[in-house]
């Protein structure tokens, strides 16, 4: 049988079923989908590929899913470091956004983020930022998969004047993306402290009607909890529950301040958590109790947050940090294993975004979102266990090739859909602008 792409690999870790590392196996791709996964000797007998890749020193994985980003904020990477969250936001980030936010800012910042993510093996990202229409446009142009957040806040911005306009524009974009093969939507109210009750309630109702996730920062810091108790007499999660948002559509980002009762609640309703360990560490926001949440049955995904508070979009670094931090917080060296964090960065992210039937694992019938990692480097030798090295030793610089829906977006470390020369010129201009006092 003649197929589009035949990849012969040293190892394949399909993620589903878990714990399998397949040696000397091949992935068969046709019409953008995985049609077979089998031993290489059998693949050579059964298939002829229009394109054949022999990657004997590589491991194939499903593309990584960055489940929480503010992509355009890449333009502010390193501009205000070593500060608490609210000081960082109120005195640095929000003033810069007020001065410079525009379609051009979002376009160029998103292009920069997409280039970084593709070079690091990320094939899908879940974004929350202004001008989500531009984010979707740039993602589709580059060929990367994205869930774009239909942002909602109480305050006026260049994107919308009030919560009603945010919701109206979001619903329009949702309709525009209905037939997109790469982009879909999530409602993205920023946080309980930036949105009043009525628009939060409306957001939850729209999410239920359209069966879309609700992607929201919640319980990010102790200060957030204290302020909520002072102003409303309720913890933020309790308020969200009373407004009808704590259900299986909820994608709660950060969740560093959870009681045991709140963990039980999230598990019972089937809500999801996105853990952003490096951003939480850098902003001293607290620690998500990942092991407790997983043990309770909560689906925990992994995200980087924006590059302004991380300061990168490196999912390999995020996996390593999540594993190490999870063990320390649980005081258990067996907690949050290598396979656990790989699942957090792949299939768990797909579940949180409602995409588990399409991406997140290398299963027959799914979209061919695939990455290849070269393990034949000094830093990953000797090689006893590919999975261990991916999480604890490998770097994103070892990602050599990336395919999304069978289209090659990174070829031997070279991007195929992003013009880096043009992009670097634009970024240099933004650097000068944002550095102005």
Residue pLDDT, tens place only, 315-335? 999 999 999 999 999 999 999
Pairing of strands 183-189, 145-152: parallel
Nearest residue to 58 (alpha-carbon basis) of 383, 374, 270, 376:
374
| CA distances, 146 to each of 140, 155, 207 (Å) | 8, 25, 18
CA distance 90 to 423: 29
pLDDT the model gives residue 19:
79
Beta carbons of 322 and 277 less than 8 angstroms apart: yes
CA distance 180 to 124: 14
Buried b (16+ CB within 10 A) or exposed e, 204-213: bebbeeeebb
CA distance 403 to 338: 23
CA distance 80 to 82: 7
Tell me: pLDDT of 437 over 80.
no
Q: Which residue has the tokens 């790989």?
A: 342
Beta carbons of 302 and 345 less than 8 angstroms apart: yes
pLDDT the model gives residue 84:
84
Mean pLDDT within 378-403: 97
pLDDT tens digits for range 172-195: 999 999 999 999 999 999 999 999
Confidence of residue 391 (pLDDT cuts 50, 70, 90): very high
Considering the chain, tell me which residue range(s) the CATH 2.30.40.10 domain(s) occupy: 2-62+368-405
Structural fold of domain 64-352 = TIM Barrel (3.20.20)
Nearest residue to 358 (alpha-carbon basis) of 65, 159, 27:
65
pLDDT tens digits for range 194-218: 999 999 999 999 999 999 999 999 9
Tell me: pLDDT of 351 over 90.
yes
Angle, vertex CA 386, rays to CA 383 and CA 390, nearest 5: 110
End-to-end CA distance of the chain: 63
- Collapsed DSSP state (helix, strand, coil) of residue 211: coil
Tell me: pLDDT of 60 over 90.
yes
Phi, psi of 112, rounded to the nearest 5 degrees: -65, -45
pTM equals: 0.98
The sign of the torsion formed by the CA atoms of 297, 287, 127, 227 equals positive
Could you tell me how far CA 232 lies from the centroid of its own chain?
32
CA distance 48 to 133: 40
pLDDT the model gives residue 407:
98
Per cent of the chain over pLDDT 70 is 100
Element (H, E) at 434: helix 420-434
Query: How many CB atoms neighbour CB 178 within 10 A?
Result: 10
Mean pLDDT within 109-114: 98
Nearest residue to 156 (alpha-carbon basis) of 242, 68, 97:
97
Tallying the residues shown for the chain, one arrives at 437
pLDDT tens digits for range 2-36: 999 999 999 999 999 887 899 999 999 999 999 99
CATH superfamily of 2-62+368-405: Urease, subunit C, domain 1 (2.30.40.10)
Considering the chain, tell me which residue range(s) the CATH 3.20.20.140 domain(s) occupy: 64-352
Per cent of the chain over pLDDT 90 is 95
The CB-side HSE value for 398 (13 A sphere, CA atoms) comes to: 25
């Amino acid at each position: 049988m003649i197929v589009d792409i035949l990849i012969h690999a040293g190892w394949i870790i399909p993620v589903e079923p878990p714990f399998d590392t397949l040696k000397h196996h091949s992935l068969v791709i046709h019409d953008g989908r995985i049609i077979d996964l089998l031993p290489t000797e059998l693949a050579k007998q059964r298939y002829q590929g229009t394109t054949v890749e022999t990657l004997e020193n590589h491991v194939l994985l499903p593309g990584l899913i960055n489940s929480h980003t503010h992509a355009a904020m890449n333009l502010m990477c390193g501009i205000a470091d070593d500060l608490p969250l609210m000081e960082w936001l109120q005195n640095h980030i929000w003033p810069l956004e007020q001065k410079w936010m525009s379609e051009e800012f979002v376009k160029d910042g998103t292009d920069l983020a997409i280039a970084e993510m593709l070079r690091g093996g990320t094939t899908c990202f879940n974004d929350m930022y202004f001008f989500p229409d531009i984010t979707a446009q740039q993602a589709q142009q580059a060929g990367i998969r994205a869930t774009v957040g239909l942002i909602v806040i109480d305050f006026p911005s260049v994107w919308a004047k009030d919560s009603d306009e945010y919701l109206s524009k979001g619903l329009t974009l949702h309709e525009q993306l209905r037939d997109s093969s790469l982009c879909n939507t999530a409602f993205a109210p920023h946080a309980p402290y930036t949105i009043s009750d009525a628009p939060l309630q409306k957001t939850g109702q729209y999410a239920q009607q359209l069966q879309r996730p609700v992607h929201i920062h919640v319980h990010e810091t102790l200060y957030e909890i204290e302020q909520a108790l002072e102003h409303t007499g309720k913890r933020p999660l309790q308020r969200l529950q009373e407004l009808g948002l704590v259900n299986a559509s909820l994608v709660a980002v950060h969740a560093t301040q959870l009681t045991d009762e709140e963990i039980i609640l999230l598990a019972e309703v089937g809500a999801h958590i996105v853990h952003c360990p490096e951003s939480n560490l850098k902003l001293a926001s607290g620690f998500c109790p990942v092991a407790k949440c997983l043990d309770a049955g909560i689906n925990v995904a992994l995200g980087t947050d924006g590059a302004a508070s991380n300061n990168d979009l490196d999912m390999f670094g995020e996996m390593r940090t999540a594993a190490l931090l999870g063990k320390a917080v649980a005081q258990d060296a067996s907690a949050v294993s290598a396979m656990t964090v790989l699942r957090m960065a792949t299939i768990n992210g797909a579940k949180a975004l409602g995409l588990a039937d399409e991406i997140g694992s290398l299963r027959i019938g799914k979209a061919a979102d695939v990455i290849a990692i070269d393990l034949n480097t000094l830093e990953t030798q000797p090689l006893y266990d590919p999975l261990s090295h991916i999480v604890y030793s490998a770097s994103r610089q070892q990602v050599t090739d990336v395919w999304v829906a069978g289209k090659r977006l990174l070829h031997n470390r070279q991007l195929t859909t992003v013009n880096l020369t043009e992009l670097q010129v634009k970024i240099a201009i933004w650097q000068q602008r944002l550095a102005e006092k």
